[in-house]
Amino acid sequence: MAEFNLEHDLREALAGIGRAIGQPHRLRLLELLAQREYYVEQLAELSSLTMASASQHLQHLRRAGLITVRRDGRQMAYRLTDERIIDLLGLVRQIARSQIAEVERLLSQLFPNDPDLTPLVALSQAELVQQMEAGQVTLLDVRPGAEFEAGHLPGAINLSLAELEQHLDSLPKDQSIVAYCRGPYCALSHKAAQMLQARGYQVQRFEDGFPEWKRAGLPIETLQRSSLNGTQHP
Amino acid sequence: MAEFNLEHDLREALAGIGRAIGQPHRLRLLELLAQREYYVEQLAELSSLTMASASQHLQHLRRAGLITVRRDGRQMAYRLTDERIIDLLGLVRQIARSQIAEVERLLSQLFPNDPDLTPLVALSQAELVQQMEAGQVTLLDVRPGAEFEAGHLPGAINLSLAELEQHLDSLPKDQSIVAYCRGPYCALSHKAAQMLQARGYQVQRFEDGFPEWKRAGLPIETLQRSSLNGTQHP
DNA sequence: ATAACATTCAATTAAATAGTTGAATGTTAT
DNA sequence: ATAACATTCAACTATTTAATTGAATGTTAT
């Protein structure tokens, strides 16, 4: 390794970023950290990893320059170093979707179309902004409460899939509902939208998620909290 | 591996792209393929790999959906599947540069500033377009002839570093020269620019390279050739 | 048909990576 | 000070990846 030249060393450093995003568990961690800062314990829980394993993956991501840590009491809070990492993940998703047949196949399984219903409409960012400006839309955030509290689309209401069935009456039947969640490959909003559609609601799905919205510089709302802890759903 | 869920499988497929760009030799191959279509033999030569090794790396990139092959006689010609791969590499470079200290250190070694000269000006795409429209600029493409022939900036002249010293008289002393090469981390244009600057030319460097220019949809010129073969410089 | 050639495949070895377990570190609360 | 706790480290095993060598494949030119 030492006998190579500067350009090779430079590519070796760039390749480190590739390797960092080259593992499904680490992609999961990055998706979570794209929503908000999280403690190791929470990340381990949400990504079904042991603490030691999560810690090691987080350090791998840190060495690649994708995340940083700060100490908060006796816990370590990780977050993305850079908003451009949202763009990076988005670009990888786009390339994968158009160039890897397996991805398209998995997506159609993950987002199955109920044959009895009309296929869900996926709204682009621009279309959603337009509908919001027109004022005739209810935004439904299907992410865990902790992520909603850390930041959400203006005026959105937060109901998990489980809560949704209990609070159907708080949703308008005569107005369009737009569901969103963590990002384009997060199934939560799709499930929520299908359930609502089957019950006769006018529902659409935002094709991106909160991180992409925020990254685009569009307005967001936050609920203040004293600590990082918050309700956790899987 | 079979006991995991759809979302994990999807992330596994996305991670494949990460692993594909997670190796310095493969990044080199992608940089070359961002310039033009190339045969395996040429890629092996240009990246200092054995044929077998180059072939295996190329197949790795192909499985990840980043490149495709076509047969041309008894040779196999590889090319990028997707223009967005230029964006992906650019984004990785940007993130690496701002988040990995080692990268900044390596760059200052790769692009050393001669203490006797004023530091080279790096022109952005927009600035270069502006200067070209004003008409007072000579474009110098320092890449190998084969890459120049496959596509270059409008009106550019092609001189390799070696040729440059022989043809100094074909360059104007009273007008600004802008040198460019393969991309932001390619040292050719920097070396050329420093050499010219030391000889009293008014010289600037385009901060991107041909692939980024083409990717931005800006006009390019091509020299027609009957075959893929062409002059090869390392 | 056959020889020459470019590339890929198969088999091997060496190196890097991921997951597991239990001990070590550093902080907070008592 | 000491105990409790969150996280990291160290050591180990299993898996994956990279490079090398030589054989196999498929195309072109004779």
- Scored b (16 or more CB within 10 A) or e, A23-61 reads bbbbbbbbbbbbbbbbbbebbbebbebeeeebbebbebb
- Same domain membership, residue B201 and residue B125: yes
Domain harbouring A178, CATH code? 3.40.250.10
Interchain CB contact of A76 with B (< 8 Å): no
Residue B227 has pLDDT above 60, yes or no: no
Interchain CB contact of B217 with A (< 8 Å): no
Query: B125-140: per-residue pLDDT in tens?
Result: 999 999 999 988 999 9
In a domain, A166, yes or no: yes
For the CA of A57 and the C1' of C24, the distance in angstroms is 20
- Same domain membership, residue B70 and residue B22: yes
Burial class (CB in 10 A: 0-12, 13-18, 19+), B224: exposed
Task: Write the CA distances from B11 to A151, B28, B43, B80, integer angstroms.
Answer: 24, 25, 30, 22
Interchain CB contact of B185 with A (< 8 Å): yes
DSSP character for A174? S
Q: What's the mean per-residue pLDDT of chain B?
A: 92
- Same domain membership, residue A70 and residue A23: yes
pLDDT value of position B116: 81
Q: Which amino acid is at A129?
A: V
- Same domain membership, residue A210 and residue A116: yes
How would residue B119 be classed by pLDDT, with cut points 50, 70 and 90? confident
> Cβ B66–A95 below 8 Å, yes or no?
yes
d(C-alpha A144, C-alpha A159), whole Å: 8
Q: Which residue's CA is nearest to the C1' of nucleotide C21?
A: A52
Helix (H, G, I), strand (E, B) or coil at A184: coil
- Touching A: B residues 37-56, CB under 8 Å: none
**Residue B140: both structure tokens together:** 């110098």
Q: Which amino acid is at A82?
A: D
- Same domain membership, residue B74 and residue B25: yes
DSSP codes of every residue in A65-122: TSEEEEEETTEEEEEES-THHHHHHHHHHHHHHHH-HHHHHHHHHHSPPPTTSPPPPE
How would residue B144 be classed by pLDDT, with cut points 50, 70 and 90? very high
In a domain, B193, yes or no: yes
pLDDT value of position B133: 93
| Catalytic (active site) residue A181 | yes
By DSSP bridging, strand B75-80 and strand B122-123 are unpaired
In a domain, A91, yes or no: no
- Same domain membership, residue B128 and residue B72: no
Among the partner-chain residues B11, B65, B103, the one whose CB lies closest to the CB of A27 is B11
- Same domain membership, residue A64 and residue A128: no
Q: Give mean pLDDT in consecutive 10-residue pieces for chain A, a chain of 234 residues.
A: 72 98 98 97 96 97 97 96 98 97 94 84 95 92 95 96 90 92 95 92 96 97 67 39
Rg over alpha carbons for chain A, rounded to the nearest Å, is 19
In a domain, A107, yes or no: no
Q: Which of A66, A67, A93, A100 should one mutate to test binding to chain B, selecting the residue with the greatest count of B CBs within 10 A?
A: A100
Query: B26-60: per-residue pLDDT in tens?
Result: 999 999 999 999 999 999 999 999 999 999 999 99
How would residue B160 be classed by pLDDT, with cut points 50, 70 and 90? very high
- Touching B: A residues 9-38, CB under 8 Å: 9-28
pTM (whole model) above 0.90 = yes
- Same domain membership, residue A41 and residue A79: yes
- Give the chain B residue nearest A5 (alpha carbons): B110
How would residue B113 be classed by pLDDT, with cut points 50, 70 and 90? confident
In a domain, A99, yes or no: no
In a domain, A47, yes or no: yes
The domain tally of chain A equals 2
Contacts with B183 (C-beta within 8 Å, 6 or more apart), sequence order:
B31, B34, B89, B90, B208, B209, B210, B211, B212
- Same domain membership, residue B199 and residue B128: yes
d(C-alpha B146, C-alpha B131), whole Å: 27
For the annotated catalytic residues of B, the residue numbers are 181
d(C-alpha B133, C-alpha A170), whole Å: 59
pLDDT value of position B229: 55
- Give the closest nucleotide to B20 (alpha carbon vs C1'): D17
The listed range with the strongest mean pLDDT (A1-15, B186-200, B206-220) is B206-220
Helix (H, G, I), strand (E, B) or coil at B172: coil
Cα dihedral sign, A221-A224-A227-A230: negative
Q: Which of A26, A67, A92 should one mutate to test binding to chain B, selecting the residue with the greatest count of B CBs within 10 A?
A: A92
Residue B1 has pLDDT above 50, yes or no: no
pLDDT above 90 covers a percentage of chain B that reads: 83
In a domain, A142, yes or no: yes
CB contacts < 8 A, A to B, total 155
- Same domain membership, residue A170 and residue A116: yes
**What are the two backbone dihedrals, phi and then psi, of residue B93, each rounded to the nearest 5 degrees?**
-60, -45
Among the partner-chain residues A8, A15, A85, the one whose CB lies closest to the CB of B95 is A85
The listed range with the strongest mean pLDDT (B20-24, B195-199, B221-225) is B20-24
Nearest to A92 by CA among B88, B82, B111: B88
Nearest CA-CA distance, residue B13 and chain A, Å: 7
pLDDT value of position A232: 40
pLDDT value of position A224: 74
DSSP character for A182? S
- Same domain membership, residue B207 and residue B131: yes
pLDDT value of position A118: 84
Structural domain of A134: 112-215
Strands (E), chain B: 38-39, 67-72, 75-80, 122-123, 137-141, 157-158, 176-181, 203-209
Contacts with A185 (C-beta within 8 Å, 6 or more apart), sequence order:
A93, A107, A110, B7, B10
How would residue B4 be classed by pLDDT, with cut points 50, 70 and 90? very low
Interchain CB contact of A112 with B (< 8 Å): no
> Cβ A6–B110 below 8 Å, yes or no?
yes
In a domain, B104, yes or no: no
Domain harbouring B69, CATH code? 1.10.10.10
> Cβ A107–B18 below 8 Å, yes or no?
no
Q: Which of A67, A181, A192, A203 is catalytic?
A: A181
Q: What is the ipTM of this complex?
A: 0.92
